Amino acid sequence: MKLLESLNWRYATKKFDPNRTISESDLVKIKEAISLSASSYGLQAYKILIVTNPEIRQKLQPKSWGQTQVVDASHLIVFCNYTTVNEKVIDDYLKLKADTQELNLDNLKGYGDFMKSKITELSSEVMKAWTAKQTYIGLGNLLAACAELKIDACPMEGFEPEAYNEILGLSEKGLSAAVIATIGYRSEEDLTQHDTKVRKPLNELFETI
């Protein structure tokens, strides 16, 4: 299974080579892998920012616990969840579904009404937590895709979401930074690449009931 080989190869890269850049063709593959991620109701209630502007990344670094990956990696990926999912979001999805699958939009009304009844009953805090969780599925696919392409990655929760929201102008767009990842190529000076991967034994991690 090639996926297992790739996942054994990857690790959370701490020091990137700032002189190496991911090719546009590989970046497209990573985008497609993220796009194919599962999401609740298929809504994809998030947006992914690919930050390459060095000035913006310099501003974000101190709000990322000073971690050098933010400025040294080829690309900084910011997964931003919708802070609210309103009827327009659902209607836009239903239209996309009808157009893509060549369906009659009126035939999706029942499904749309069901989604609206379940989603609109959520409190603001629960809704934000729900959409934020969706971004982590996309993050998982990013890590797997990068590993297959032999591109290094580091998923990161060590940052200040509110500061990111302010610097990137996310709040006024109905978005909030949920999780970030840096992708690129490891530096030869990154000693953690030689560490043996530490994981619980399968018989301890899994239980069959």
Nearest to 17 by CA among 195, 148, 182: 182
Which stretches does DSSP call E strand in 13-143? 46-51, 75-82
40-45-47 Cα angle (round to 5): 135
pLDDT-derived band at 14 (thresholds 50, 70, 90) equals very high
Half-sphere exposure of 142 (CA within 13 A, CB side): 26
Q: For residue range 191-202, list pLDDT tens digits in order.
A: 999 999 999 999
**pTM (two decimals):** 0.97
With beta carbons less than 8 A apart as the criterion, state whether 116 and 108 touch. no
pLDDT-derived band at 1 (thresholds 50, 70, 90) equals confident
With beta carbons less than 8 A apart as the criterion, state whether 71 and 187 touch. no
**Which residues are within 8 A (CB) of 199 and not within 5 positions of it... i.e. 6 or more apart?**
205
Which domains can be identified in the chain, with CATH numbers? 2-205 (3.40.109.10)
pLDDT-derived band at 170 (thresholds 50, 70, 90) equals very high
Nearest to 33 by CA among 157, 181, 192: 181
Q: Is the pLDDT of residue 11 over 90?
A: yes
93-98-101 Cα angle (round to 5): 115
Tell me what the mean pLDDT of segment 121-130 comes to. Answer: 97
- Specify the pLDDT at position 55: 98
Round to whole Å and give the CA distance between 117 and 125.
Answer: 17
Q: For residue range 69-91, list pLDDT tens digits in order.
A: 999 999 999 999 999 999 999 99
Q: Is the pLDDT of residue 135 over 90?
A: yes
- Specify the pLDDT at position 63: 98
Compute the residue count for the chain: 209
Tell me what the mean pLDDT of segment 155-182 comes to. Answer: 98
With beta carbons less than 8 A apart as the criterion, state whether 13 and 190 touch. yes
